[in-house]
Amino acid sequence: METLVNEICSQIQKSKNYKIQTIYFGGGTPSLLPAQLLEKIVQAIYKTFEVAQDVECTIEGNPEQLTQEYLNELKQLGFNRISIGIQSFNDKILHFLGRTHSAKDAFVAIDNVQKAGFDNISIDLIYGIYLRSIEDWLYELQTVFQRPVKHLSAYSLTVEENTLLYKKILEKKIVNTDEEQPLVEMQLLMDEAEKNGFEHYEVSNFAKNNYRSQHNSNYWNGTPYLGFGASAHSFTGTSRSWNISNVEKYCEAIADNRPFFEAEQLTPENQYIEAFLLGLRTKEGIDLRHFETRFGADKQNNLLQSLQKIDPQFYEIKSDFLIITKKGLVLLDYITEKLIT
């Protein structure tokens, strides 16, 4: 914690270039930290940077950690948005995912967050799990929309190599998801979210009016950001850096005044691909006029010509914005691959 605070405070020379609009504690399980340690980080940020009065300040938390007392402390520290890693309201699926909380814990956590005075409540769900029927998925979605939740992030299950889940699939102890299942479940997700007044503003994110995640929207819009702590990433718009991921080595490097991060300068081609991929994920799509100004007429023409590779029902051009349609969002990975190769 001392190393993390030192890293933040070391940015004092650069801080005049930034006015902090959003603060996000995530990328792990920050709710494992007691409030006294979180307070040290918050104080370091406010000491080092100019922070907007209406800053969006989010913390991720697991349901079993979000007790009433802890949430009251978070509120006093200035947090105004809670993102709860629920993943499922089904105990069988939670066990499959290796989660340590129960469905009951999830319900209690949402109630606790609301009682603590948090209005901006976000939850995460995972779909595309072979144990869940389409009826089960509908029940989980209806459960969300019946609660005081303002934001929903939903991701298809990804099986990473060298994980326990990957090993079990290889050993045929469990069945991998049918390729069609995530597509069907995403379609149902989009339909139910729309029925319940949730705006589908990014391929995996849904929000009530005025409750978009401002912090995550900055990523998709290509806004520069600063990351602190082991494994944290930072982005200037034209370059990216990432801290040492090993906690001990990260601490040792800063203590010894040695380099604790690596960096790369993004080539114009890198910047083009990144802006293209991120832009297509959002409801607004790609601003073709801005795209032409930034990358040149040739790049814009190449993009427009590449649209011939995909079905016209998957996209539309509206007021100089290239937008993926609802039918296309379900197949976004396929579409972006087609357009970029």
Q: What ranges do the domains of the chain cover?
A: 2-220, 229-265, 268-340
Would the CATH topology of 2-220 be identical to that of 268-340? no
Was domain 268-340 assigned CATH 1.10.8? Answer: no
Nearest to 100 by CA among 131, 64, 140: 64
Q: Other CB atoms closer than 10 Å to residue 117's CB: what's the count?
A: 10
Task: Provide the b/e sequence for 96-105 (b: ≥16 CB within 10 Å).
Answer: beebebbbeb
- CATH for 2-220? 3.20.20.70
User: How do strand 151-156 and strand 120-127 relate by DSSP bridges?
Assistant: parallel
Q: Residue 227 corresponds to which tokens in the numbers above?
A: 């990351």
- Between 23-37, 109-123, 136-150, 170-184, the lowest mean confidence (pLDDT) is in 170-184
78: left (phi over 0), alpha (psi -120 to 50) or beta: left
Q: Residue 92 corresponds to which tokens in the numbers above?
A: 């069988």
**In this model, does residue 178 exceed pLDDT 70?**
no
| SS3 (DSSP) at 281 | helix
User: How do strand 50-61 and strand 19-25 relate by DSSP bridges?
Assistant: parallel
Q: For the whole model, what pTM was predicted?
A: 0.92
Quick one: pLDDT at residue 71? 98
The alpha carbon dihedral of 33, 37, 38, 44 has a sign of: negative
**In this model, does residue 37 exceed pLDDT 70?**
yes
Query: Please, which pLDDT band fits residue 162 given cuts at 50, 70 and 90?
Result: low
Average pLDDT of 181-197? 96
Quick one: pLDDT at residue 156? 92
Alpha-carbon distance of 107 to 103, in angstroms, equals 7
**CB of 66 closer than 8 Å to CB of 31:** yes
**Contacts for 266-270 with beta carbons within 8 Å, 24 or more apart?**
266/238, 266/239, 266/240, 268/295
Percent of the chain whose predicted confidence (pLDDT) is above 70: 94
